[in-house]
Amino acid sequence: MPVHPGRHIFPTAAGFLFMRNEVCQLLRDALASLIRQGVLPASADIPIQLERARKAGYGDYASNLAMVLAKRAGLKPRDLAEQLCANFPASSLVVRSEVAGPGFINLFLAADAYQQLPVQIRTQGEAYGTSSNGAGQRVMVEFVSANPTGPLHVGHGRGAAYGDALARVLRAAGYDALSEYYINDAGRQMDILALSVWLRYLELSGETVSFPPAAYQGDYVFDIAATLHREDSEKYRSDATALLSSLPDDDDQALDTLISRARSVLGDPGFVRVHTLASETLVADIRADLTSFGVEYQTWYSERSLIDSGAVQRAIDDLKEGDFLYQDGDAWWFRSSNFGDEKDRVVLRANGNHTYFATDIAYHRDKVARGFDHVINIWGADHHGYIKRVKASLSALGIDQASLTVLLVQFAILYRGGEKVSMSTRSGDFVTLRELCEDVGRDAARFFYALRKPDQHMDFDLDLAKSQSSDNPVYYVQYAHARICSVFRQLDEKGIQINLAEANHGLLIEPRESDLLHKLSRYPEIVESAARAYEPHQVAYYLRELANDFHTYYNAHPFIAAEPDLRLARLSLIDAVRQVLANALALLGVTAPERM
Give residues 143-182 in contact with RNA (rule: CB under 7 A).
Answer: 147
Measured from the CB atom, is 259 or 346 closer to RNA?
346
* 447-476: contacts with RNA (CB under 7 A): 451-453, 455-459, 461, 468, 470-471, 473, 475-476
Report, in Å, the least distance between residue 226 CB and RNA.
26
d(CA 20, CA 376): 32
365: left (phi over 0), alpha (psi -120 to 50) or beta: alpha
In the complex, least distance from residue 284 CB atom to RNA, rounded to whole angstroms: 19
Residue numbers 527-546 binding RNA by CB under 7 A: 529, 533, 535, 537-538, 541, 544
Q: Name residue 99's beta-bridge partners.
A: 105
Strand 331-334 and strand 325-328: pairing?
A: antiparallel
Residue 342 interacting with RNA (CB under 7 A)? yes
Of residues 181 through 220, those in contact with RNA by CB under 7 A are: 184, 187-189
Partners of 461 in beta bridges: 415
User: Helix/strand/coil (H, E, C) string of 8-47?
Assistant: CCCCCCCHHHHHHHHHHHHHHHHHHHHHHCCCCCCCCCCC
Q: What's the order of all strands across the beta sheet hosting 419-420?
A: 419-420, 412-416, 458-461
Using CA atoms of 409, 415, 419, 424 in order, give the dihedral in degrees to the nearest 10.
-60
Nearest distance, CB of residue 254 and RNA, angstroms: 14
Instruction: Give the C-alpha distances (Å, rounded to integers) separating 98 from 326, 427, 470.
Output: 69, 65, 42
Min. distance of Cβ 305 from RNA in angstroms?
16
Question: CB 30 → RNA: shortest distance, Å?
Answer: 17
- Piece of the chain touching RNA by CB under 7 A; list 8-16, 28-36, 98-106, 306-314: 98-106
Closest separation in Å from C-beta 577 to RNA: 12
Cβ nearer to RNA, comparing 308 with 459: 459
Compute the radius of gyration of the chain from its Cα atoms.
30
Q: In the bound complex, what is the minimum distance in angstroms from residue 125's beta carbon to RNA?
A: 22
Question: What's the closest the beta carbon of residue 205 comes to RNA, in angstroms?
Answer: 29
Q: How far is the C-alpha of 414 from the C-alpha of 155, rounded, in Å? A: 9
Comparing CB distances to RNA, the nearer of 189 and 238 is 189
Q: Is 104 helix (H, G, I), strand (E, B) or coil?
A: strand
Among 234, 383, 416, 429, binds RNA (CB under 7 A): 383
Give the x-and-dash track for 233-262 against RNA (CB under 7 A).
-------------------x----------
Residues 392-411 that bind RNA (CB under 7 A): 408, 410-411
Nearest to 419, CA basis, from 469, 462, 472? 462
Nearer of residues 108 and 222 to RNA, judged by Cβ: 108
Number of residues that bind RNA (CB under 7 A): 89
Whole-Å CA distances, 113 to 379, 518, 520, 523 = 44, 10, 13, 16
* Per-residue interface string for the shown chain with RNA, residues 478-507, x marking contact by CB under 7 A: -x--xx-xxx--x-----------------
Q: Which residues contact 260 (CB under 8 A, 6 or more apart)?
A: none
Contacts of 519 (CB under 8 A, 6+ apart): 545, 546, 549
The Cα-based distances of 22 to 10, 246, 568 in angstroms read: 13, 82, 31
Q: Minimum distance between the CB of residue 564 and RNA, rounded to whole angstroms?
A: 13
Q: Which of residues 34-93 bind RNA (CB under 7 A)?
A: 51-54, 58, 62, 64, 67-68, 70-71, 77
Taking the C-alpha atoms of residue 463 and residue 499, their distance in angstroms, rounded to an integer, is 46
Q: Which residue in 162, 182, 297, 559 binds RNA (CB under 7 A)?
A: 559
Q: Is residue 381 a contact residue for RNA (CB under 7 A)?
A: yes
Which of the stretches 6-14, 222-230, 324-332, 498-506 binds RNA when contact is defined by CB under 7 A? Answer: 324-332
The answer to whether residue 432 forms part of the interface with RNA (CB under 7 A) is: no
For RNA, the closer of residues 202 and 580 by Cβ is 580
Per CB under 7 A, does 339 bind RNA? Answer: no
Enter the DSSP assignment of 378: E
With residue 327 as reference, give the H or E element that holds it.
strand 325-328
- Residue 48 or 209: which CB sits closer to RNA? 48
